[in-house]
Amino acid sequence: MNADNFSVQIKDLDLNFGAVKVLRGLNLDINNGEFIVLLGSSGCGKSTLLNCIAGLLEPSDGQVWIGGKNVTWDEPSQRGIGMVFQSYALYPQMTVRGNLSFGLKNARIPRDEIERRVARAAGILQIEPLLDRKPAALSGGQRQRVAIGRALVRDVDVFLFDEPLSNLDAKLRADLRVEIKRLHTQLNNTMIYVTHDQVEAMTLADRIAIMKGGKVMQYSTPDEIYNRPQNKYVADFIGSPSMNFVEGTIKGGKFTAPGLALDLKGYDFVGGKATDGAAVIGIRPEHVVTGELVSGAPFQTDVTVDIVEPMGSDTLVWADLGGAPFRIRMDGQARVHRGETMRVGLEPARASLFDVKTEERL
Amino acid sequence: MANASTNIAAAGPRGPKPRRAISGRNIMIYGTLGLVALYYALPLYVMIVTSLKGMPEVRLGHIFAPPVEITFQPWVKAWAQACTGLNCDGLSRGFWNSVRILIPSVVISIAVASVNGYALVNWKFKGSETFFTILIFGSFIPYQVMLYPIVILLREMGIYGTLGGLVMVHTIFGMPILTLLFRNYFTSVPEELFKAARVDGAGFWGIYFRIMLPMSMPIFVVAIILQVTGIWNDFLFGVVFTKPDLYPMTVQLNNIVNSVQGVKEYNVNMAATMITGLVPLTVYFISGKLFVRGIAAGAVKG
Ligand SMILES: Nc1ncnc2c1ncn2[C@@H]1O[C@H](COP(=O)(O)OP(=O)(O)O)[C@@H](O)[C@H]1O
Ligand SMILES: [Mg+2]
């Protein structure tokens, strides 16, 4: 693939704030029209990376390419990007119309063209009735729509979102999430979206870049990230309730640990075949089978129920497996009680194995 | 059951707790306020009353008595005829001098300081923190220490004894405190607003004039009050850096009140003092309202 096929490319990006290294040798290739989510816990450098792409922060080293052009030294307004901020950042003294047209006026775009673009953006986002209001007279959801509109009117190829929904309440967040997804299918431009919310990441992204300490831990599709996490950090970070980890040893194609003896036949090893030694197995709570399904599972065992957390749609059970707590996700209608013994089944093919030292996937 | 419980609720305390209009606490508060008000209002009263009396009446010495015969002659004399040393054209000369000092000083100092504060917050450059520290340090240096060096500086620049020189001095001395004022205000403006404006293609001046300035009216009003009253009331710089025919109003007032020839015309002196104080007084009255309105407008977050 040559460089023109990429919408955005980050090459060996370093960013230091004084002695603090926030981004370290970061590389990221983003295809045209892709929806990329930067996901990571607070303080891992997501916003910093986004600001570097936007040109609001000067990298200490490395390059940023947008649309096949090296834009590392370009002004934010020349990069062909639009940005949406967490706090909306609407200009308080201007009306919605003023907010939308500010960037276009700065670019000296003819007045009728400005009007056309504002009308189009307002139509797409359904904010026409709000055009003559000031931001103070808008609700949170409306403000965020205007903020998206401000990026929309710029008619750019790349949209940058910095946690655009995290100031909204849960219901509105879900609604706007779908709208952003719809916007993407409609416009088909590249979107880079920062969030610390894994549901947003999984639902929106074509590909997710999971970041930790200024590095990308894994960069692949939501499906791949969920089913084949590349390392223990990603495995632990994605999924709620989070994955169960049990330390043990692999020997002769079998994984053994207190209370567990799993035949690893069917497990897709990274190198193709198993290597003996210490390992950690990760099993998602929702991949533990219960009830009638147990009989079909390759490995079956009895566990004691410790705590039951009913959540309506499903029930989270904390059980005791070989002396360690083990999370099991069951149907919302399951009736289990503390102290009960329950038969569960595990399927090694759906589990993930990690090296104890490097924490990389085996 | 349900009925009984509502009855009990209706009988018990409900809604705001009644308060007595005259309580020990209220008497204390209003009493103290009244006393303090009297303490400040009484001298003002004496001044106004005296300035409206003729000299014969003043000589009677009843300072609290209202004027028997109201005359505005002392005010006219203070404004247009009172003598200070060489010339006898009253305070009017000093008034216009003060206006000519005040307007450029206020405008220039606030314009420069607001841009300073804006640059310090949003366009951090290498050494901007050091620059700021030096500036803050500047606000602690007593004026007296710098008087003589500045006299020499102005003389070398050839503007000693001119209004331009005095304007420059006022601008420089207003800089530390005003920059601090603006810097602190601009720090409270969300950084994302500034970033959004940069993505929208606004530059240094574009962001200053179109985003920051319209958002910062309250702090500009505060700065104007500070500078107008400070510069209008200045005596020291006026005396040191100008010549007699360019003296600001305060210096001229002093010369009228302290003139040694002839009888002391208390009524003219009082009128002159009142006239001199009118400008800061007006600023307080007008800007007080603006100030409150500005704060209220700024409180609505965008
Ligand atoms: N202006 C700054 N000066 C120094 N450190 C900063 C600055 N901005 C961010 N950082 C640090 O960089 C790290 C990454 O910040 P950020 O990119 O905002 O994280 P997040 O992933 O939550 O968006 C944090 O540890 C933060 O403390
Ligand atoms: Mg952030």
**Tens digits of residue pLDDT in B19-67:** 777 888 889 999 999 999 999 999 999 999 999 998 888 888 888 888 8
Does residue A353 register a pLDDT over 50? yes
Q: Closest Cα to atom 3, ligand 1: which residue?
A: A17
Q: Which of B194, B199, B211 to mutate to test the interface with A (most CBs of A within 10 A)?
A: B199
pLDDT of residue A292: 86
pLDDT of residue B18: 82
pLDDT of residue B300: 42
What span, in angstroms and rounded, lies between the C-alpha atoms of B295 and B276?
29
**Tens digits of residue pLDDT in A254-273:** 999 988 888 888 888 888 88
pLDDT of residue B301: 41
Task: Please check whether residue A85 is in contact with residue A194, taking contact to mean a CB–CB distance below 8 angstroms.
Answer: no
CATH 3.50.50.60 fits B92-297, yes or no: no
Does residue B90 register a pLDDT over 70? yes
Question: What are the two backbone dihedrals, phi and then psi, of residue A194, each rounded to the nearest 5 degrees?
Answer: -100, 135
CA distances from A198 to A39, A284, B280 (A): 7, 15, 60
**Tens digits of residue pLDDT in A153-183:** 998 999 999 999 998 888 889 999 999 999 9
pLDDT-above-90 percentage for chain A: 79
- Using DSSP, state whether B139 is helix, strand or coil: coil
Contacts of A107 in chain B (CB under 8 A): 201
User: How close B179 gets to chain A, by Cα (Å)?
Assistant: 23
The angle formed by the CA atoms of residues B219, B222 and B224, to the nearest 5 degrees, is: 110
CB contact under 8 A, B302 and A91: yes
How far the first Cα of chain B sits from its last, in Å, is 52
Please, what sign has the CA dihedral across residues A204, A210, A215, A219? negative
**Tens digits of residue pLDDT in B122-141:** 998 888 889 888 888 877 88
Q: What is the mean pLDDT of residues A311-330?
A: 91
The angle formed by the CA atoms of residues A258, A307 and A236, to the nearest 5 degrees, is: 60
Does residue B262 register a pLDDT over 80? no
Contacts of B124 in chain A (CB under 8 A): none
Does residue B1 register a pLDDT over 50? no
Does residue A86 register a pLDDT over 60? yes
Domain boundaries along the sequence of chain B: 21-71, 92-297
Does residue A54 register a pLDDT over 80? yes
CB contact under 8 A, B192 and A92: no
pLDDT of residue B9: 57
pLDDT of residue B19: 79
CA distances from A177 to A42, A127, A170, A185, B105 (A): 20, 17, 10, 13, 54
pLDDT of residue B299: 45
Structural domains in chain A plus CATH codes: 3-236 (3.40.50.300), 237-355 (2.40.50.140)
What span, in angstroms and rounded, lies between the C-alpha atoms of A7 and A179?
23
Select the highest-mean-pLDDT range: A121-125, A296-300, B5-9: A121-125
Ligand 1 atom index nearest CA of A17: 4
For residue B15, count other CB atoms closer than 10 A to its CB. 5
Residue B35 amino acid letter: L
Which range, of A3-7, A336-340, A351-355, averages the lowest pLDDT?
A3-7
